[in-house]
Structure 1
Amino acid sequence: MKGDHHMILRVIAKCLIPLILIYAFYVQFHGEVGPGGAFQAGVIIAVALILYALVFGLTATMRAVPPWFTRALAAVGVLIYAGVGFWALLSGGDYLEYQALFGEPPGEHHGQHAGIIIIEIGVLCAVSGAMTTIFYALAGRVAEIRDEDW
């Protein structure tokens, strides 16, 4: 690699990125009972990838997480979200009515918990995929004005 003067930055990033991802999953799985949730966790995952791109370069990031994967992840997230809604409709309830997912009586809440978790996984996939795709689109643009012309 060219430029050993970035060695400390690379080492720090390699230590921070796993911690950022762990924090994203903490926000994801505790969003139901505390502040945060799937949208915030998806953005935090995208932030980890953006940090990787800023330190190691866009090309290396696109090799690690290809653009086709981020687009597919966003699409799968939307399908999961919509799929839970249609599952509820097919089970005799309203769109995204979690109680109808497992045909539970009104006093039970297992469908509610399962529905929320599945929906949040869909939102996590959609948001992290979309944010990373947007970053790839913006970061991969060719500048109209060269840096030397500023």
Structure 2
Amino acid sequence: MRHHLILRVVTKLLVGTIILFAFYVQFHGDFSPGGGFQAGVIMAVAFILYGVVFSLRKAQKVFPPWLVHKLVALGVLIYAGTGIVSLFLGYEYLDYGAFSPHHPEHGQHYGILIVELGVGITVTGVMVAVYYAFAARPPRISDEEW
């Protein structure tokens, strides 16, 4: 396991940077290109890169499959819950003006941030779950048969 030292060191440096960039894309998506979907994919790439370089088992220790599945559901609940809250406040489903009735523009901003957060969490969970599902499959042929 001592081989690929440079790849392992570079990966450790990149994972934190990738996660930081994902947060930037997430929270600046309404001011520049980006948003929840893009940030979710970028965040998932950090965990997938870690798993490819260090092993699926180590990636699952860092980001356990049970947590991945819960995040998928949490993101959907955040998205849908935003609409339900607006319904309870007497507005239409996903009418973000409900979050700041005196300043609907602020409500739009808050609503978009919350919905995009839900999308980002869901996309991260789904992408990592897909990686876990494919990486956990046993190979059909051995490496020598290639």
TM range (shorter): over 0.9
Give me the whole-angstrom Cα distance separating, in 1, the residues matched to 2:3 and 2:69.
34
Query: What is the match of residue 44 of structure 1?
Result: 42
Give me the whole-angstrom Cα distance separating, in 2, the residues matched to 1:53 and 1:139.
9
Which runs of 5 or more structure 2 residues have no equivalent in the other structure? none
Q: Identical aligned pairs, as a percentage?
A: 51
Query: What is the match of residue 94 of structure 1?
Result: 92
Give deviations 1:18-66, integer Å, cap 9, x for gaps. Answer: 1111111111111001101110000001000011011111000001110
Give me the whole-angstrom Cα distance separating, in 1, the residues matched to 2:19 and 2:72.
18
Q: How many residues align?
A: 146
Are residue 118 (structure 1) and residue 114 (structure 2) matched? yes
CA RMSD after TM alignment:
1.2
Superposed structure 1 runs of 4+ greater than 6 Å apart? none
TM-score normalised by length of structure 2: 0.95
TM-score normalised by length of structure 1: 0.92
Query: What is the match of residue 141 of structure 1?
Result: 137
Give me the whole-angstrom Cα distance separating, in 2, the residues matched to 1:7 and 1:100.
53
Which runs of 5 or more structure 1 residues have no equivalent in the other structure? none
Give me the whole-angstrom Cα distance separating, in 1, the residues matched to 2:104 and 2:37.
27
